[in-house]
Amino acid sequence: MKTITSAERELYLTLHHLSQNHPIVNEWLTRLPKWLSTIKDKSRYAHAPAYLSAVNRLPSITREHNRQVDLNADAITIQLDWTKAEFKQTQALLKNLMPWRKGPFIIGNDIHKLHIDTEWHSDWKWNRVAPHLSSLQNRRILDVGGGSGYHGWRMANNSDEYGAKTVIIIDPSCLFYHQFMAVRHFVGDADKNEYGNYRTHYIPVPLEALPKQSQLFDTVFSMGVLYHRPSPFEHLNLLKGQLVKGGELVLETLVVEGDERTVLVPSGRYAKMNNVYFLPSVSALTLWLEKAGFVDVRCVDIDVTSVQEQRATEWMNYQSLADFLDVNDSSKTVEGYPAPMRAVMVARKG
């Protein structure tokens, strides 16, 4: 069966299973066919057929490839005994899915190793976040704005030490959906949970498309999304609606220095991004979370993004952070705002 078809089938089965105890999931199931057909609609996404074709032409992986998957490593690693021809074919097809922003991923063996060196060292973010999480073992997780799915794979973790029962990644990007499916192709069955189902799923929709009060997830992640939203309280309320009572929210976003009255709203672009709205101080963000109904709100990490963590690579050859900062003063963006600084907040739904 083709990778995307089997991933969609597994998603359907997981939701169907979930609906037995959670009737709200019937609403997800009703919307699912539309969600999955829209992402293939070339009148909406001109590149969709090319992305699909790249995923469909990846070489088949059989027992002879001795696949070994490590979702618990800084680079998601799929070891394969493959031929030079398979390596070359995969390299060319995955280049059709550029730019690769979130990773890294390693596919292959020491002789023919494909290292997808992504724009972001997403492992660095994960290493800042992971120590502060309640155990993910056996939990149901939603990763909102999950990009290529790198962090979702890390949450799923097939070491069985602390892997989730189910991870659902959502993100409206057609490219990132297909990047996830390309990685899924190589991961194969290696992330199956004890019920024999895939742990890791991807629904190509924005948060706003989900039924609002699903109350399904033990942990909800929103990393790198809040500052893109014109209405931060709407985003926080929608995240809350996806959590079970007492469930954990992990919110990572851009912040600025200041007190609880400090919020930066860039007048135009911020670090050359034209869709940045609200950058609160940590105190203001704490207030927002409490006002939105979260409790035990904690800031567990603050980090100024470095040009080693976000940079142009062979797999993302556009401009990157170094081009977004003032050449004479790297503490400022080219627009004169404070350079990107990120906070990780952890809170519980009260």
Ligand X SMILES: C[S@@+](CC[C@H](N)C(=O)[O-])C[C@H]1O[C@@H](n2cnc3c(N)ncnc32)[C@H](O)[C@@H]1O
Where along the sequence are the contacts to ligand X (CB under 6 A)? 102, 122, 125, 144-147, 170-173, 176, 206-208, 223-225, 228
Based on CB atoms, which residue is closest to ligand X, 189 or 234?
Answer: 234
Decide: helix, strand or coil at residue 102: strand
Cβ at position 153, least distance to ligand X in Å: 12
Cβ at position 332, least distance to ligand X in Å: 20
Based on CB atoms, which residue is closest to ligand X, 171 or 191?
Answer: 171
Cβ at position 17, least distance to ligand X in Å: 24
Based on CB atoms, which residue is closest to ligand X, 55 or 250?
Answer: 250
Cβ at position 335, least distance to ligand X in Å: 18
18 token code pair: 């979930």
Cβ at position 120, least distance to ligand X in Å: 6
Residue 333 — φ and ψ, nearest 5°?
A: -80, 170
Cβ at position 227, least distance to ligand X in Å: 8
- Burial class of 327 by CB neighbour count within 10 A (0 to 12, 13 to 18, 19+): exposed
Cβ at position 223, least distance to ligand X in Å: 3
DSSP state of 6: H
Cβ at position 148, least distance to ligand X in Å: 8
Based on CB atoms, which residue is closest to ligand X, 128 or 348?
Answer: 128
Decide: helix, strand or coil at residue 295: strand
Cβ at position 147, least distance to ligand X in Å: 4
133 token code pair: 């999480």
Minimal CA–CA distance to 207: which of 190, 232, 184, 179?
232
Based on CB atoms, which residue is closest to ligand X, 13 or 300?
Answer: 300
DSSP for 28-62, please give it. Answer: HHHHHHHHHHHTT-TTT-TTHHHHHHHHHTSPP--
CA distances from 26 to 4, 20, 31, 196 (A): 22, 9, 9, 22
Based on CB atoms, which residue is closest to ligand X, 13 or 307?
Answer: 307
In the bound complex, which residue of the shown chain has the CB atom lying closest to ligand X?
145
CA distances from 248 to 105, 151, 220 (A): 28, 16, 6
Based on CB atoms, which residue is closest to ligand X, 108 or 147?
Answer: 147
Cβ at position 160, least distance to ligand X in Å: 25
128 token code pair: 């800042």
Q: Are 182 and 150 in contact (CB under 8 A)?
A: no
Question: Which residues are 167's β-sheet partners?
Answer: 141, 200
Based on CB atoms, which residue is closest to ligand X, 52 or 129?
Answer: 129
Decide: helix, strand or coil at residue 308: coil
- Rounded distance between C-alpha atoms, residue 252 and residue 224, angstroms: 6
Based on CB atoms, which residue is closest to ligand X, 254 or 282?
Answer: 254
Alpha helices for the chain (secondary structure H): 3-19, 25-38, 48-56, 84-95, 122-129, 150-156, 174-187, 232-242, 282-291, 321-324
Based on CB atoms, which residue is closest to ligand X, 10 or 171?
Answer: 171
